Amino acid sequence: MKMADSTTILRRNRPGTKAKDFCRWADEPLEEMDSTLAVQQYIQQLIKRDPSNVELILTMPEAQDEGVWKYEHLRQFCMELNDLAVRLQKQCSPTTCTQMTATDQWIFLCAAHKTPKECPAIDYTRHTLDGAACLLNSNKYFPSRVSIKESSVTKLGSVCRRVYRIFSHAYFHHRRIFDEFEAETYLCHRFTHFVTKYNLMSKENLIVPINEEENTTPGESEA
């Protein structure tokens, strides 16, 4: 890729690059990104620029395939949620959190087993992110990063419902970790707007307050 002055821009962290200088290459318009990973790169570019600008990050460019846009955002959410999972391990263990719960009324069953059953919260978190990664990297359902069949796009909603439970458990049971992570990433804020904008989850399941909007209907959920 070239800038106006013909200087070559390499989107690469060279050996010896300091952590504070990671990914500090110039922004590039989506239409000039010559890669099958262009949408992922574009989304990450917007997040790097300002993670708090949720509306801009979620605004789909003109002529962009909506299925690919949803898919790439969900991949990005799962990648970032791995960081939250690592932080949760400091407090969330099979002995301290024996069930995957949100409020005292919500208990979630883990779908990673032959028959959905209860799991310790940290195991549920790992199983859910592993399952999401397996599905989103499946050549059967998602063989292309530039075009996705509608039948595959319909599978994204179930992934959203399951990974959202990681946010809800962190919010209601590990609030300090949740707040510190959210202050850095705005990830739950972005995820909530994403699933609302694209109708991937029903509002009654969005139990983590965002923008002072409480939505805490109690209940129990299947996997």
Q: Is the pLDDT confidence value at 217 over 50?
A: no
Name the band, by pLDDT with cuts 50, 70 and 90, for residue 105. Answer: confident
Does the pLDDT value for residue 219 go beyond 70? no
Q: From residue 34, how far is each of 30, 38, 159, 165, 178 by CA, in Å?
A: 9, 7, 29, 36, 37
Find all residues with CB under 8 Å of 1, minimum gap 6, and list them: 8, 9, 11, 28, 32, 33, 34
Secondary structure letter of residue 9 according to DSSP: -
CA 170 – CA 205 distance, rounded (Å): 15
Instruction: Share the mean pLDDT of the chain.
Output: 86
Q: What is the DSSP letter of 18?
A: -
Question: d(Cα 62, Cα 170) in Å, to the nearest integer?
Answer: 35
pLDDT at 220 over 70: no
Give the containing element (helix H, strand E) for 63: none
Considering the entire predicted model, what is its pTM?
0.84
pLDDT attached to residue 7: 53
pLDDT digits (tens, 9 = 90+) for 148-198: 999 999 999 999 999 999 999 999 999 999 999 999 999 999 999 999 999
User: What percent of the chain lies above the pLDDT cut of 90?
Assistant: 68
| Distance in angstroms (rounded) separating the CA atoms of residues 11 and 23 | 7
DSSP per-residue letters across 103-120: STT-EE-BTTSSS-B---
Kindly state the helix (H) or strand (E) to which residue 107 belongs, with its residue range. Answer: strand 107-108
Question: What confidence tens digit (pLDDT) does each residue in 49-73 have?
Answer: 999 999 999 999 988 899 999 999 9
Closest listed residue to residue 169, CA positions, set 93, 75, 78: 93
What is the Cα–Cα distance from 208 to 164, expressed in whole angstroms?
9
Residues facing residue 110 across a β-bridge: 117
Domains and CATH numbers, the chain: 69-223 (1.20.140.30)
∠ Cα 74 76 79 (to 5°): 110
Helix or strand holding residue 101 (H, E): strand 100-101
